[in-house]
Amino acid sequence: MYQTITTTNEASILTITINRESKLNALNMETLREIKEAVIAANKDNTVSGIILTGAGAKAFAAGADISEFVNFNSKQANKMSADGHETMNTIERSGKPVIAAVNGFALGGGCELAMSCHLRVASENAKFGQPEVNLGVPPGYGGTQRLIQLIGKAKATELLLTADAIGANEAMEYGLVNDVVPAEDLLPRCAEILNKIAGKSPMAVAAVIRCINAHFAEGEDGFKTEIEEFGKAFETTDFKEGTDAFLNKRKANFAR
């Protein structure tokens, strides 16, 4: 079905793996399109409760965009490439099911942007993050100038974007770019552990929380208003009835998917 990624569904967790190890999982346009399609499909699949996004091999999550693909582009082609990349990142960010980036090695340029579009990020101890685009004579094109600021603040983000410096996993955690750092062999199990914990919560409420968080950063949206609306809508759901009944009767909630 896919040419540049693989997908596996195990115990309700869909793992999307960028399968271009010989290219350090560099992101070409086909890869971005297939990732977008896989995330959309996962959101329609009742057997999936959460998504892990990772790269094949131990060296790279995704070492950037595939430069050979766009080196001769004109501005019109470049604009479309950027817009298509943004569409993939936005699809991940707006996924109603949680997406965790399992960052195994290099997450540079487009790879860092891909990781930042996920709801959570867990890094192996050898992970490296950076936005080196200014070395190529361009700014980041897949949301890096916006999401890096959102995640770590303007001052440090500006420094990293302008110097093209890369940072290691522990430094990334210190700045708030990643949620956890683990040995490489524990990377996927740790991601699964987090998703399994979330899977025990109301899927409707989880999706609503994601929409509220995204509204905080969306231009023209009032995150507080979104929260009020989502809170009210929740009272009409079966999840609310199940969750409150379970609480009042001191039992574990059993949310349907």
Angle, helices 75-93/110-117, rounded to nearest 10 degrees? 30
5-199: CATH number: 3.90.226.10
- d(CA 64, CA 46) in angstroms, rounded, equals 32
Catalytic (active site) residue 34: no
- d(CA 177, CA 129) in angstroms, rounded, equals 9
- Counting every residue written for the chain, the total comes to 257
Q: Exactly one of 113, 185, 230, 236 is catalytic; which is it?
A: 113
List the domain boundaries for the chain: 5-199, 203-248
Catalytic (active site) residue 113: yes
Name residues whose C-beta falls within 8 Å of residue 106's C-beta, 6 or more positions apart in sequence: 24, 59, 60, 61, 62, 63, 64, 127, 128
Report residue 104 as tokens.
């195994």
Q: Exactly one of 37, 133, 219, 230 is catalytic; which is it?
A: 133
- Quote the pTM value: 0.96
In order along its 257 residues, the chain shows pLDDT tens digits of: 899 999 999 999 999 999 999 999 999 999 999 999 999 999 999 999 999 999 999 999 999 988 888 888 999 999 999 999 999 999 999 999 999 999 999 999 999 999 999 999 999 999 999 999 999 999 999 999 999 999 999 999 999 999 999 999 999 999 999 999 999 999 999 999 999 999 999 999 999 999 999 999 998 999 999 999 999 999 999 999 999 999 999 999 999 88
